Amino acid sequence: MKGQLLTAILAASLLTPVASADTIEKGKQIAWDRKKGNCLTCHMFEGGQQTGNVGPPMVAMKARFPERKALVEYIKDPTKRNPMTAMPPFGRNKILTEQEINLVVDYLYTL
Amino acid sequence: MKTIIRNVAFGLLGASVAAASVAGPAEDRAAFQKFYENRFPDTPVDDFKNGVYSILPAAREQWESIEEFPPYELAIERGEEIYNKTFANGKSLKDCFGEDGAVRSEYPHWNKERGMVMTMELAVNECLEANGEKPLKYKKGAMADVTAYMSYNSRGQMVNVEIPADDPRALAAYENGKEHFYTKRGQLNFACADCHMHTAGMMYRADTTSPAFGHATSWPVFRSKWQAMGTLHRRFAGCHNNIRANPYKAQGEEYRNLEYFVTYMSNGLEFNGPAARK
């Protein structure tokens, strides 16, 4: 039993980049931290207090961004899709590192 | 999904407002004011002078009760003292701005001789210095107090900024302020227009952003967050800090030109400073 489970986990982790409870929690902290992502300024997140409404609510992220790379790229520089957007270019302007953006995406995919 | 579509639509509208500018300041202003009138159809036009409260019925009642015992009252009293105080040379601010200093609607204006935008704060300091007195700091304190007194005595005057056609440098100053207003800057990549035009009325955390139509009418303000008075340029610098952009110098050319542009955009509204803000 144990061996099977282990194999299953290993197989899953080979297929998708590993999002663990740990990276998801870290991603959430980065997204919520006012000095980091501060995403709640503009987006509604489940469980968030005093969330803004400048951007759309963060729900059903897998359905909206089936491709992980597209979501990462979007957060790095949303002005590529809409030059007028109010959303900051988190990667291009070095507000978050590549690694931090990936952690945020792990978290977003749980929403 | 709805929000996304709304944002894109407003983005395009904003672009068309900016593009319409080729035609000149008068056309800019008409398009600018129309934008806010369409966006906030429930706001009577002359009410845009009340900042965010012109579009937020929920917060308005509390604000009106604050205005009944205005937190800027002491500032007006302190300002009156400064205004009437006799300088070492026997003169006073009255010699520059008249008996009660009700000159709000004369500023900002284009000074042709010097080729620059004159603001009320700059004029106060020039009067002090011309009479051998020490100039005041521009963002808060005595300057906010004395301009609160002068604005109070000017209440009801109309905003009527002119861009004189006979001096291309005036148009250049206006264009410079306008470009500043629409240009994204800072690490967070925001233009004034992003918050106060394209997303005006939306919520950033618990803060709803005010329409820029009316931005220059109510100064100085007593802000609860500051627990004190502040000038318009103090507010400009605050918004720049929030988007992680380097603020410019209060009363430097950049902010004076920005004031020239935003005040011109509010032509036709009343000056109603000082005011209370969150």
Amino acid at B173: A
Query: Which of A84, A94, A97 is most worth mutating to test chain B (most B CB atoms within 10 A of its CB)?
Result: A84
B190 interfacial to chain A (CB closer than 8 Å): yes
Per-residue confidence at B13, pLDDT binned at 50, 70, 90? Answer: very low
Q: Find chain A residues with C-beta within 8 A of B19's C-beta.
A: none
Q: What's the domain range around A94?
A: 19-108
Close Cβ partners of A41 (under 8 Å, ≥ 6 residues apart): A34, A51, A52, A54, B204, B205
Q: How many residues in chain B?
A: 278
B192 is catalytic: no
**Pairing, β B221-223 against β B207-208:** unpaired
Q: What's the domain range around B116?
A: 73-154
Please report whether residue A11 resides in a domain: no
Q: Are residues B32 and B99 in the same domain?
A: no
Distance (Å) of CA A75 to CA A50, A52, B20, B203: 22, 18, 31, 20
B38 interfacial to chain A (CB closer than 8 Å): no
Please report whether residue A13 resides in a domain: no
> Which tens digit of pLDDT belongs to each residue from B220-251?
999 999 999 999 999 999 999 999 999 999 99
Please report whether residue A10 resides in a domain: no
Please report whether residue B2 resides in a domain: no
Q: Find chain A residues with C-beta within 8 A of B202's C-beta.
A: 52-54
Please report whether residue A4 resides in a domain: no
A 10 A CB-CB count for A67 gives 9
Q: Find chain A residues with C-beta within 8 A of B196's C-beta.
A: none
> Residue A83 sits in a domain of what CATH number?
1.10.760.10
Provide the pLDDT for residue A3: 52
Given a cut of 50, whether residue A12 has pLDDT beyond it is: no
Close Cβ partners of A45 (under 8 Å, ≥ 6 residues apart): A31, A32, A39, A51, A57, A58, A111
Give the CA dihedral B125, B131, B133, B137, nearest 10 degrees: 0
Given a cut of 50, whether residue B142 has pLDDT beyond it is: yes
Please report whether residue A6 resides in a domain: no
Inter-chain CB proximity B204 and A94 less than 8 Å: no
Q: Are residues B168 and B271 in the same domain?
A: yes
Half-sphere exposure for B48 (CA within 13 Å, toward CB): 28
B241 interfacial to chain A (CB closer than 8 Å): no
A 10 A CB-CB count for B254 gives 16
Domains: count for chain A: 1
> Residue B37 sits in a domain of what CATH number?
1.10.760.10
Q: Are residues B77 and B212 in the same domain?
A: no
pTM: predicted TM-score of the whole model, two decimal places:
0.90
Q: Are residues B172 and B65 in the same domain?
A: yes
> Which tens digit of pLDDT belongs to each residue from A27-86?
999 999 999 999 999 999 999 999 999 999 999 999 999 999 999 999 999 999 999 999
Q: In the 8-state DSSP scheme, what is residue B53?
A: G
- Plot region of B51 (φ>0 → left; ψ -120 to 50 → alpha; else → beta): left
> Which tens digit of pLDDT belongs to each residue from B38-89?
999 999 999 999 999 999 988 999 999 999 999 999 999 999 999 999 999 9
Q: Are residues B38 and B172 in the same domain?
A: yes
Please report whether residue B9 resides in a domain: no
